Structure 1
């Protein structure tokens, strides 16, 4: 675990500076040794004495060097040596010395700074494993007893390689950074992460540092694990009773509960199996251990029942967050009409569009089929009447035409464009000279052709 860092800087004989640092066993601390004002920075090398262990010598600039649980970084830009001691153990507490070796002409000069690392117990907290759920919100809490540390700067950082990268602190302005928001509380502070993603998975630290100086230490380690959760969307109307159920995994705690809120880590409990009476007002719960599910009923739904609900189980480990196994998005409205609109906006519009397309094309196909049937019916009447104009039967009759009517049977399988029929006329008289011409006009819009046999004798009656 990380410890609290208290830095007291004093000047001592021989230009030696001393500081005091307090840290938690299992945690980490970070402090800095300033470069001497004289001399060429590029020519410097450093030696770090540590209690009960060999010295560490470093001359690499602007790059982390790791040795056991100690990391060194020569920061030439800010003219300091950064020292990080991780996973503090009992043997790590004691006196440390930063020794700077540099050339002054033909001479070599040495400057020293001493740091005393002491053990802190009051604010040290054990590792906490917290589960966050993708696309939801989660809150990490960092508490400190009493007002002893109220004057210190509080910070929140994430492990990144050899150091912990700052995200937010109480000295930040504003107290937000992307999806992270820091909130001061009576006991310390909390940091919420909105719209959690897989990139948020990792190790975080809560910590304190003095208002002046670059030293710092952490007080709490949080292992954040991001995972998916089953999500359901439920619609209801005002005045209805709503019943739903959640399946929980094997090995879940005996105590199940339902809570409401965007953030499951701080959501409001509504009903729990830990209660003697699992019927609290409008909310009731039943735990079916044989089917491994809980059934929840909300009676007389109201508009303020809109929101996000979580099915969860109490953690039996104080170092681990509660377990959640189902997320429910409940929408309550006053009428079924607006409820249908809500269904459409929630994604069901695709289904409705598909149904509409199917109905539209079915109706269209039916209209086309009816039109074809009507046309076929008109073209398949039993008979069609044609007017046949015949040349005069006698030479002296002039050019006047005489009309002969005949009934023509249409073919059984007519063409789409031309109709054919055979018309048999009575035999014409021998007095008729030349060819006999006939034209047949059908009752449709298309042409109708007919083969006409010349009559062998003259008939007085019209055919």
Structure 2
């Protein structure tokens, strides 16, 4: 028997297939071998059969010949199968030159798993030819359980498939609706890898395959196999039935801002009573578990029993804590753990307000996590992004300095701080600044507000009962603010401009095209006098003095003088009356003595 394991064009030609009759005589049959190239052959398929059930294998043959079905041994030689377990069913296709044969193997066991070939057998006088045209890999699969999970459209879903007995074996997840033809696996172990719309991690230490759906869609619903390859031809899996719900409440998105070193409380609402899961996205947008003494949890049920509200507190916030968090509900099954992420929280860090006068310099200090020492950093007015950059934005790399006309960036990797200095400040420099680190996308993690006080003050002197209109500079993204305070910094809290005045006599009118808004004050009173700050990031100092009118002062003076004279008269009369009475008493007393 001569077995060509893989025919090539070079194998074509004339062969002698002979026997040595004696030392000097031989006889042979001449064999003329031609090698055809056809896109349909050889055909390769993979079939999966559950343990103990029946496997059906279909083969397409190019001509009407006897069917040959064989199984590769350990040496990759295709050996004939002679077993009562194999039955054959044949039928012609619509085209007479092709034939479809189905081979069934009943009561499949581990011994039946492996590589099969089927093809056409031709007999001649002295030779038998078997052309193997279809290669079938038969894998034996064992279903160990069934689990059901529900996720929310637009939210995230983490699935942990546990295979503790097969820690180092390759693991996968596939969808049954496409016959599990597309098996998603990380390709590498102990490292997150993207595969289409999901990310996968094969944890060989715990024997767990983690599958993360970053954003669930309706098309993700269906039945999956979450399995492990025990050997080349045997697998175990848990069936996963995934349904995707669409609910206006989930996923929920929010933004929280907190000053460095302070504490932030994050509240999450869950659709059901399950174990709380709280995680933080890493640089690859994978939501990783948080295990820190800085995080504490406080839970309480809402009025509706099917909902639960949990508050997560992060104390002593540092630059490492900035980023995107998710919280959701965790469900455990025999072999699977499901984490449905329902609330997305963007945690931004803030630094104290920077207040400078027009023409001065400002220094913006950006601490960063030491893991980003080698990454480019940016200081941007407005968020740092490739499509929305302010001309002032600049980037600096480790231990280098970037200079423009008025901006200097310096990165101190030893201290894990980069600094931006802006000289000769103008009104255009005022605003919100972001510190960012460039990864695959830019990570905006820390911001501050720069307030520029204009050198030109506005001094107003008015009288009680007057009206006054004050124009304030206004940038598009700023809030309109008119604040009464001794210092400009007192007019901003947590980056938000405060309107400390709550009086019906004060009104605003916006002239956005002119970049100003007007504050109108009616019926001025003396207590309205004081220092005001007009604008938000661009601020003008307004000194308002409200006096009484001259006629009011004359009347007041007359009343005062009149009252003063009346008081003096009363005092004089009193004194005169007292003396007269005293004299009378003295005379009367003297008379009695006499």
Specify if TM > 0.5. no
**TM-score range relative to shorter protein:** 0.3 to 0.5
Structure with more contact order per residue of length (Cα contacts < 8 Å, sep ≥ 6):
1
TM-score, length-normalised on structure 1? 0.44
TM-score, length-normalised on structure 2? 0.36
